[in-house]
A and B are shown apart, each in its own frame.
Chain A
């Protein structure tokens, strides 16, 4: 009986130590998974938001929705959404498989198509105005050991393109402007094909 008691005394704290390590590991994996699923869920939301944003722009003469509107309709957190206008894919781009990600103000002259990228998440690891989604982290504190170039893992994005529904060429002026923009836009993209091929 003495031996048994002594044995327990030698192992004092072992279970605590194991629990500390094991539960920490579980908590770490849990947090990583929760965060990953949180972003995965929000990536679905960004896809729906991107469609709405592109549709909205196409149906409102090129006026993009505000980030606040996107927040209101699609996300539970506010202040983490960015609406980014990208250069829309035109016919030559699709033929050549060019995936342009250049930001533009409006390359179509209001005729469309409009390509919108919705980004949800932090754009800076140390930004007071753009709080990290987890309350566990102080927004003004950088994630430990995370280099700045890994900031992309803290955000998700989706893009969608929609044509300019609001411009149906119902007047001569609209038609003339639309024809010009169509020709000049596709001619510009055609140049990109040659630059890719040669």
Chain B
């Protein structure tokens, strides 16, 4: 017969086992190491996601700076081109006026010479008369050349003004694209969804609502009409793509060469050089009032000076103005964060809207009790590296396009300047934005 075990034997064994288990340290380092590796990995990923966000933010800012600078550069180039053509116009008119003045002088001189050469013993004057008439006969030619030059020049300058907005926009986009910007329409949509709806109220009194609605308008317009073409940077005020260089009435010599001078020469030439078959401009059959010849409103002559091209002399228009400033936006779209951990809903650290209140009272709930992965419940979305929309302003500096001067327009990046409120087109607000 086995001896009866004391009643507390099992209890003592259990206690001994527990004591042994409690004092057993096997695996504790591995457990700690595993936890530390997990934590370090999570913190590392968060740090790298932050790095990526900072990187994307810089990419967005670089892209929009590059776009704004490029837009101003191309406007400066076109302004300089207009200025060079204005200077050429000025020089040609100056030379033509002087030449016409000289020719007129010789025409006038040819009148007495024409008489003197026929006087006996004054035959030696004949070569002088011939020379005078040769010079005099250039008078209508000079005038016609000037008119022809003007008729070629003005459409060229007008063409530059018309083409400039497209090339400015194209190169701004090319540079934004080359600098890493993404589709600005997509970026803007994401950005407004994430940030702007919260931020607009902050500066709504400063035109923020206007900015929002303008961006939406630009978005709708460009997105609808040009949805097939990727756009990487857009100006907040598309009107600023224009050079804002327009035809302007001249201020006198040499763009204004009064017809009276060559008319006197013409009359004198008809008298003094008739024997040399002097051909008056009145006899060449040209219709100087036709549109194709610069009259009748062609080439911008319709502005304040509705005179048709004068038959003699000229009264030219010239291009004048400056583009002013532009403000551009470009950005980078959102990205999934590293390893896709943002798709784990519980990392969002939020609650479904329905969990916030119960019976009208705010209640505490578990951090997350919905689906573990993906966008579920009322939550707005997964954790992502956000979209970044950056803004930059630029302008052309130097002399504006004037009648005659240095072609010294240059591009500059300036303090961010918003073209709002738009009810006053002469004003704008500047904002310091810390990059």
Residues of A within 8 A of B (CB): 7, 11, 14-15, 18-19, 21-23, 25-26, 29-30, 33, 36-37, 40-41, 43-44, 47-48, 50-51, 54, 88-91, 93-95, 97, 112-113, 115, 158-165, 168-172, 175, 178, 182
A90 and B171 alpha carbons, distance in the complex (Å): 7
Q: Is the CB of A164 within 8 A of B30?
A: no
Minimum CB distance partner of A7 in chain B: B20
A-B pairs with lowest CB-CB distance, top 10? A22-B33, A161-B178, A89-B178, A40-B51, A33-B44, A91-B170, A18-B29, A163-B70, A94-B177, A94-B174
What's the minimum C-beta distance from B279 to chain A, rounded to whole angstroms? 35
Tally of chain B residues near chain A (CB < 8 A)? 55
> Which single member of A30, A41, A159, A165 contacts B40 (CB below 8 Å)?
A30
> Which single member of B25, B47, B77, B230 contacts A178 (CB below 8 Å)?
B77
> Which single member of B30, B47, B176 contacts A37 (CB below 8 Å)?
B47
What's the minimum C-beta distance from A49 to chain B, rounded to whole angstroms? 11
Chain B contacts of A30 at CB under 8 A? 40
Q: Is the CB of B76 within 8 A of A168?
A: yes
Name A's interface SS. helix
What's the minimum C-beta distance from A107 to chain B, rounded to whole angstroms? 12
Answer yes or no: B73 CB below 8 A from chain A CBs: yes
A43 and B65 alpha carbons, distance in the complex (Å): 19
The segment out of B247-255, B408-416, B420-428 that lies at the interface is B408-416
Q: Is the CB of A160 within 8 A of B30?
A: no
- A170 and B408 in contact (CB under 8 A), knowing A44-B51, A163-B175? yes
Q: Is the CB of B52 within 8 A of A113?
A: no
Chain B contacts of A178 at CB under 8 A? 77
Residues of B within 8 A of A (CB): 20, 25-30, 32-34, 36-37, 40-41, 44, 47-48, 51-52, 54-55, 58-59, 62, 65-66, 69-70, 73-74, 76-77, 80-81, 84, 167, 170-171, 173-180, 229-230, 232, 406-411
Chain B contacts of A44 at CB under 8 A? 51, 54-55, 58
> Which single member of B58, B81, B232 contacts A47 (CB below 8 Å)?
B58
A3 and B30 alpha carbons, distance in the complex (Å): 26
A43 and B230 alpha carbons, distance in the complex (Å): 27
A54 and B69 alpha carbons, distance in the complex (Å): 12
A171 and B70 alpha carbons, distance in the complex (Å): 19
A33 and B43 alpha carbons, distance in the complex (Å): 9
Chain B contacts of A21 at CB under 8 A? 30, 33
Most B C-beta atoms less than 10 A away, residue of A37, A158, A161, A171: A161
Minimum CB distance partner of B170 in chain A: A91
> Which single member of B25, B73, B230 contacts A94 (CB below 8 Å)?
B230
Q: Is the CB of B30 within 8 A of A18?
A: yes
Q: Is the CB of B29 within 8 A of A19?
A: yes
Minimum CB distance partner of A42 in chain B: B51
A182 and B160 alpha carbons, distance in the complex (Å): 14
Q: Is the CB of A160 within 8 A of B66?
A: yes
Q: Is the CB of A22 within 8 A of B32?
A: yes
Q: Is the CB of B59 within 8 A of A163?
A: no
A91 and B233 alpha carbons, distance in the complex (Å): 12
Most A C-beta atoms less than 10 A away, residue of B69, B84, B179: B179
A91 and B168 alpha carbons, distance in the complex (Å): 10
Q: Is the CB of B29 within 8 A of A22?
A: yes
A46 and B79 alpha carbons, distance in the complex (Å): 35
Q: Is the CB of B81 within 8 A of A163?
A: no
What's the minimum C-beta distance from A32 to chain B, rounded to whole angstroms? 8
What's the minimum C-beta distance from A12 to chain B, rounded to whole angstroms? 12
> Which single member of B20, B30, B34, B175 contacts A162 (CB below 8 Å)?
B175
Q: Is the CB of A94 within 8 A of B29?
A: no
